[in-house]
């Protein structure tokens, strides 16, 4: 799709401080091909980095190089259905955990820090419990779901909410066959993404298009599987994730942004503190939202590197 006055790929890809992975490889998890990205020297100590839902490893193109400069071999992967990994017939939390374990198994047999953002932070908190022999420290960035909005509303309102979740989810399932993402220009895709990421700069959003979308004859399309959907219906409760924390025996650092926004959990330090294991701590980055590692990459990288020293 031509857009004579719009942003070109060369302009969009020139984001200050962004560096594509030094190495790319594939890991197969139960038959599912996962795209693995690495930054840093191959013989440096490994660090696992997990992205959030509807993100992809390219969203770490500024943050991950900073960690690599600190002396780490940063290993991240596109979760199934995200980025350059395979689209699958089914998606589930259990499957994501197994995929994460397959990536960990591909990085030798030593323990390493697990770092994750949002859904990725939640994933690595679960992996910390599932693979205690492989983790040396946990950094959870905005991946600490708290009790959320449901605790303050009436029983009647909660029931209406669950009913709507059920109806919306089934309506979504019925709409999936042959579903494709809508094509557009770099600027249009960036604008759409901006609705999910209202605090992100237009330049960053346009950069994401160049690494998270594919261009074809009729325009750019996000690579993420169009059959995926934020949320769904089911019994999952946010506090089940916080219950992963007390059992973790390695050092734990939680990082939150002070600014609440739609993609985040609205979690405050006081929500997390009761669940922190001994010695665990929680830090807040003032003036940053859910994508704190994008808004303040230097600050979050320094916090992480200092914690891992």
CA distances from 1 to 13, 24, 183, 187, 205 (A): 18, 29, 8, 12, 19
Nearer to other proteins, 25 or 173 (CB): 173
CA-to-CA distance for 294 and 284, rounded, in angstroms? 15
Nearer to other proteins, 166 or 214 (CB): 166
CB contact at 8 A, 118 and 262: no
Nearer to other proteins, 133 or 195 (CB): 133
Nearer to other proteins, 110 or 163 (CB): 163
42 DSSP β-pair partners: none
Nearest approach in angstroms of CB 257 to other proteins is 27
Nearest approach in angstroms of CB 36 to other proteins is 16
Nearest approach in angstroms of CB 139 to other proteins is 20
Nearer to other proteins, 107 or 162 (CB): 162
Helices (H), 84-233: 93-105, 119-130, 155-174, 186-196, 202-212
Nearer to other proteins, 64 or 228 (CB): 228
In the structure encoding, which two tokens stand for residue 158, read together?
A: 């909660």
CA-to-CA distance for 7 and 187, rounded, in angstroms? 6
In the structure encoding, which two tokens stand for residue 202, read together?
A: 């237009």
Residues 6+ apart with CB under 8 A from 180: 221, 226
Nearest approach in angstroms of CB 87 to other proteins is 8
User: Which residues of this chain interact with other proteins, rule CB under 8 A?
Assistant: 29-32, 80, 88-92, 94-95, 97-99, 101, 126, 129-131, 158-159, 162-163, 166-167, 169-170, 173-174, 176-177, 227, 232-237, 240, 243
Nearest approach in angstroms of CB 192 to other proteins is 23
Nearest approach in angstroms of CB 227 to other proteins is 6
How many residues are listed for the chain in this entry?
A: 309
Residue 165: name the closest of 231, 211, 209 by CA.
Answer: 231
């Amino acid at each position: 799709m031509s857009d004579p006055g719009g942003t070109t790929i060369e302009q969009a890809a020139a984001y200050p401080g962004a560096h594509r992975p030094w190495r790319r490889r594939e890991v197969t998890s139960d038959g599912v091909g996962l795209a693995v990205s690495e930054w840093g020297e191959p013989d440096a100590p490994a660090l696992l980095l997990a992205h959030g839902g509807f993100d992809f490893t390219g969203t770490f193109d500024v943050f991950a190089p900073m960690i690599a400069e600190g002396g780490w071999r940063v290993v991240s992967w596109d979760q199934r259905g995200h980025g350059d990994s395979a689209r699958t017939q089914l998606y589930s939390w259990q499957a994501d955990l197994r995929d994460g374990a397959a990536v960990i198994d591909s990085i030798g047999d030593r323990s390493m820090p697990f770092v994750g953002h949002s859904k990725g932070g939640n994933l690595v908190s679960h992996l910390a419990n599932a693979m205690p022999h492989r983790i040396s420290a946990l950094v959870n960035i905005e991946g600490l779901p708290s009790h959320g909005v449901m605790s303050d509303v009436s029983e009647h309102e909660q029931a209406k909410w669950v009913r709507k979740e059920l109806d919306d989810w089934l309506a979504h399932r019925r709409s999936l066959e042959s579903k494709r993402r809508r094509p557009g220009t770099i600027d249009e895709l960036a604008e759409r993404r901006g609705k999910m990421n209202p605090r992100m700069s237009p330049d960053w959003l346009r950069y994401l298009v160049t690494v998270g979308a594919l261009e074809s004859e009729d325009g750019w399309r996000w690579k993420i599987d169009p059959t995926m959907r934020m949320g769904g219906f089911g019994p999952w409760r946010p506090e089940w994730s916080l219950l992963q924390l007390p059992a973790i025996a390695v050092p734990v650092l939680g990082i939150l942004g002070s600014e609440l926004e739609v993609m985040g959990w609205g979690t405050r330090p006081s929500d997390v503190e009761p669940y922190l294991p001994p010695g665990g701590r929680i830090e807040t980055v003032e003036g940053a939202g859910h994508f704190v590692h994008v808004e303040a990459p230097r600050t979050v990288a320094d916090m992480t590197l200092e914690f891992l020293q």
